[in-house]
Structure 1
Amino acid sequence: MAGSGLRVNGSLTIPDGELAWRFSRSSGPGGQGVNTTDSRVELSWDVARSAVLEDGQRARLLDRLEPRLTGGVLTVTASEHRAQLRNRDAARARLAELAAGGLAPPPRRRRATKPTRGSKERRLRAKKQHAQTKQWRRRPDHS
């Protein structure tokens, strides 16, 4: 965990020096220990000033993660575990996942297609069957 940095994908590893940690008391499970242990973890990475990003990567991350950024800084928190070490691992995984998702190339655009003749026929057949079922459920006329 320590030393090398946070591996985001095959081409990007965030050095430990660019990651800022904060610890605080957590709510949730832990009984009386919650009141004394700083198990909540906050992990921050300054995307705007990162030295490991190329200009294109930085622009893509700033654009895609814009709602999650505060002043160009991406922050994730983890407090679901009782132990600080497990919360640290969870925060690292969460930050790596967000960064990898922000760097991933956009999905290919869907090419518009028309429904096939067979699918149209099946849809109409199902509609007629449904109407027939509802017709059978009606109360017969007493005229």
Structure 2
Amino acid sequence: MQITLDPRFITFGFSRSSGPGGQNVNKVNTRVTVFFDLAQCTDLSDAQKTRIRNKLATRCSQAGVVRVASQKHRTQLENRQAALARFQELIEEALTRPKTRVKTRVSKSVKQKRLDLKKQRGRLKRERTRSEWD
């Protein structure tokens, strides 16, 4: 399910990463955080917004802002692309409806087999306890 969102509701934040990079990590803001204002977005219906808010509850703030961060790579550009890709993946995953479960029944033969095994086990236990000592 491909969905397009207005870039006005997506903002980026940059901070220092804790990943690989040596001295580069201490100097350059390579971690990228994508902020998506779910509450203000007009591209999604209320039902879709609710679904995203429920599925991404740990990434969503009280104000309705979804946050996705990436710090895997050494460069800001690569992290930006990775964060956007992950964000898109999460949104699409949240909006896909789960398949409805098809109810199945246990067949008669399986029920009968289970009962037979229970009876056999019970018979075995009964035979163990009936030993009389004279």
TM-score band, normalised by shorter chain: 0.7 to 0.9
- Name which of 103, 110, 114 aligns with 1:111: 103
- Name which of 13, 32, 39 aligns with 2:30: 39
Alignment partner, residue 130 of structure 2: none
Task: Give CA-to-partner distance per residue, 1:57-114, whole Å, 9 cap, x none.
Answer: 1222222222321131110000000011110011001110111111111221242332
Asked if structure 1 preserves the Cα contact closer than 8 Å seen for 2:13 and 2:34, the reply is yes
Matches of 1:49 and 1:16 in 2, distance apart?
A: 12
Asked if structure 1 preserves the Cα contact closer than 8 Å seen for 2:68 and 2:86, the reply is yes
Matches of 1:39 and 1:117 in 2, distance apart?
A: 63
Give the structure-1-normalised TM-score.
0.69
Alignment partner, residue 50 of structure 1: 41
Structure 2 SS opposite 1:14: coil
Unpaired stretches in structure 1, ≥5 consecutive residues: 1-8, 125-143
AA matched with 2:65: V
Structure with higher strand content: 1
Structure 2 SS opposite 1:13: coil
Larger radius of gyration: 2
Number of residue pairs aligned between Structure 1 and Structure 2: 115
- Shift in CA distance, 40/116, structure 1 to aligned 2, threshold 3 Å: farther
Q: What is the aligned-residue RMSD (CA, Å)?
A: 2.4
Structure 2 SS opposite 1:63: helix
Alignment partner, residue 79 of structure 2: 87
Structure 1 SS opposite 2:11: strand
